[in-house]
Amino acid sequence: MTREMTGAKMVVEALKEQGVDTIFGYPGGAVLPIYDEVFQQNDIRHILVRHEQGAVHAAEGYARSTGKPGVVLVTSGPGATNAVTGLTDALLDSIPLVVLTGQVPTFMIGSDAFQEADTVGITRPCTKHNWLVKDTDQLAATLHEGFHVATSGRPGPVLIDIPKDVQFATGTYEPAKPTASHYQPAVKGDMEEITELVAALEVAERPVFYTGGGVINSGPAASQLLRELVEATGIPITSTLMGLGAYPASGKNWLGMLGMHGLYEANLAMHDCDLMINIGARFDDRITGRLDAFSPNSIKAHIDIDPSSINKVIKADIPIVGDVAHVLEDILKVWKARGRKVNREAIAKWQEQVSEWRKVNCLAFAADEKTIKPQYALQRLEELTKKHDRYITTEVGQHQMWAAQYLNFEDPNRWMTSGGLGTMGYGFPASIGVQMAHPDALVINVAGEASWLMNMQEMGTAVQYRLPVKQFILNNERLGMVRQWQELLHGERYSHSWSEALPDFVKLAEAFGAKGIICKDPKDLDDAIIEMIEYEGPVIFDCLVEKHENCFPMIPSGKAHNEMLMGEADTQGVIQSTGAVLV
């Protein structure tokens, strides 16, 4: 069934056909025809953000919390360039997005027209793929292909640039065809490699699962299969920042997050293991630390849907290219068929060793009666919100690491954070996207005051759409992580790492028509958090915390997993000049 219609109408039709219910956007001259079509229908809700970067992060929050692609509609020129940070963020964290940008009419392209930018040129390195559509007859097929590419294989952001004359012109609408694209990444892993992995798993004495965002991206089935495999084998499991929630934090084999600010037991298990099973993670530098001392005695299996992830950083002894859910299903099948064997005796000893490491209690901190320690704030937040239908987003910095350490995630898609790019300003708009997808859930953005200010204009969006997002700001009046590095690496010269002239956050909330809460006394914290939860609308929670707290454990740059700093006492002269040049 093909139909004649304008390009602008095709956009709306294609979005409907793809099952899109929400788009985030900001209008402008080059997308007015599409906005006119958006106006004349009721199937797709449009959320008007206050800045295009906010639209992309909101779409990321929507996508991560639902598993569906996020959709963005912005105008040409500045609309598109403002989206670049969000696109890069989504690329590094493998978040499926379809971003539609308006463009000046085809006959004006290249003339430096008003609000013209080479959008496909600018976004080529920060999208998985992008298209400039010059012919209305190609528009519908390109839109469908965009959704296919964004969601197939390793997910990622795509951008479709649509000149204004293409939106006005009439063409033929082609419905989506499942076989139309040559882009069909393999999802099944090689059975020989899978069998080799199972054979290794059967005899390993100190195995560990190292899981990442790929498990979440693979869908809920992947998390289920992972849990089945972990429970059946009793193998300890750790996860990257991106993978939190795939295995429940309450699970008995859970080691906690690993990496630069990961838990002691997780990093030592990685260092001492004899079989490392990487499932959907990519050996990021925040994970590996010093490469030549990374888990020196282990056989490394690496499951990843992207062949370019394999052997990029760490040599894989058992490389498996495939989708996590498909591969885990096959691993379980083979493992069961071969008699469900593991080296029970050795693993029991290994678990004992893990228990010894746990006793170190690496997340212990010195509580204070007068000042709120940020760790304490998060412990209380966890305690008072864990029974809720809860989603957490974060900004970037110390608060993000503390949130990953002190909040517990029982399910996938409940934790939205900017991992690869480390984008300050991500969390607030992301919380808006999450709340749009889950209107009745408790959505909290754990923030630092500096990050939060980067996209604070989105308060307007939250209030306009009555989105009860809770902005839980750990306010230390510092760029905490920068300050921490300056203390450890730059002779305590705190160059431009404090937040001066901060707004009064309560008044700021009220100015936007939201609620503001300030809390500085540990004794008042519980009541204040409960007040925040119970308020039926957006809240800015200004939690004044200890200003000079550092985030531990910490693997300093240039060090190995077994060279963690556990607290202030360990920090004297630890980072040498070779480490200081790393980020």
CB of 156 to other proteins, least distance (A): 10
Judge whether 164 counts as a catalytic residue. Answer: yes
User: Which of 121, 175, 251, 439 is in the footprint of other proteins by CB under 8 A?
Assistant: 121
Task: Please name which of 268, 216, 345, 251 lies closest in space to residue 561, comparing C-alpha atoms.
Answer: 268
Judge whether 456 counts as a catalytic residue. Answer: no
User: Which of 179, 297, 495, 577 is in the footprint of other proteins by CB under 8 A?
Assistant: 297
Give yes or no for residue 328 binding other proteins (CB under 8 A).
no
CB of 6 to other proteins, least distance (A): 23
Asked if omega into 538 is within 30° of 0 (cis), the reply is: no
Residue ranges in 249-288 that form contacts with other proteins under rule CB under 8 A: 274-275
DSSP string, 537-566: S-EEEEEEB-TT----SB--TT--TT--B-
Comparing CB distances to other proteins, the nearer of 313 and 506 is 313
Judge whether 559 counts as a catalytic residue. Answer: no
Give yes or no for residue 16 binding other proteins (CB under 8 A).
no
Give yes or no for residue 184 binding other proteins (CB under 8 A).
no
Total length of the chain: 583
Instruction: Name the token pair of 135.
Output: 């012919």
How far apart CA 393 and CA 411 sit, in angstroms, is 14
User: Which of 159, 169, 198, 204 is in the footprint of other proteins by CB under 8 A?
Assistant: 204
Judge whether 114 counts as a catalytic residue. Answer: yes
Give yes or no for residue 576 binding other proteins (CB under 8 A).
no
DSSP string, 281-312: ----HHHH-SGGGSSTT-EEEEEES-GGGTTT
Give the ranges where 304-446 is alpha helix by DSSP (H).
Answer: 324-337, 344-359, 374-385, 398-406, 427-437
DSSP letter (8 states) at residue 189: P
Inter-CA distances, 318 with 183, 275, 298, 301, Å: 26, 10, 11, 4
Count residues binding other proteins (CB under 8 A).
Answer: 39
Comparing CB distances to other proteins, the nearer of 36 and 190 is 190
Give yes or no for residue 124 binding other proteins (CB under 8 A).
yes
How far apart CA 20 and CA 70 sit, in angstroms, is 8
82: left (phi over 0), alpha (psi -120 to 50) or beta: alpha
Q: What type of residue is 310?
A: I
How far apart CA 329 and CA 296 sit, in angstroms, is 29
Give yes or no for residue 196 binding other proteins (CB under 8 A).
yes
Give yes or no for residue 188 binding other proteins (CB under 8 A).
no
| CB-neighbour burial class of residue 46 (10 A; exposed 0-12, middle 13-18, buried 19+) | middle
Contact 65, 438 (CB under 8 A): yes
Give yes or no for residue 149 binding other proteins (CB under 8 A).
yes
Judge whether 365 counts as a catalytic residue. Answer: no
Give yes or no for residue 128 binding other proteins (CB under 8 A).
yes
Give yes or no for residue 129 binding other proteins (CB under 8 A).
yes
CB of 176 to other proteins, least distance (A): 17
Residue ranges in 306-325 that form contacts with other proteins under rule CB under 8 A: 306-308, 310-312, 315-319, 321
Comparing CB distances to other proteins, the nearer of 104 and 275 is 275
User: Which of 48, 180, 203, 291 is in the footprint of other proteins by CB under 8 A?
Assistant: 203
Give yes or no for residue 110 binding other proteins (CB under 8 A).
no
Residues that bind other proteins (CB under 8 A): 120-121, 124-125, 128-129, 132, 149, 153-154, 182-183, 190, 192-193, 196, 199-200, 203-205, 274-275, 297, 299, 306-308, 310-312, 315-319, 321, 343, 346
User: Which sequence positions are flagged as catalytic?
Assistant: 52, 114-115, 164, 481
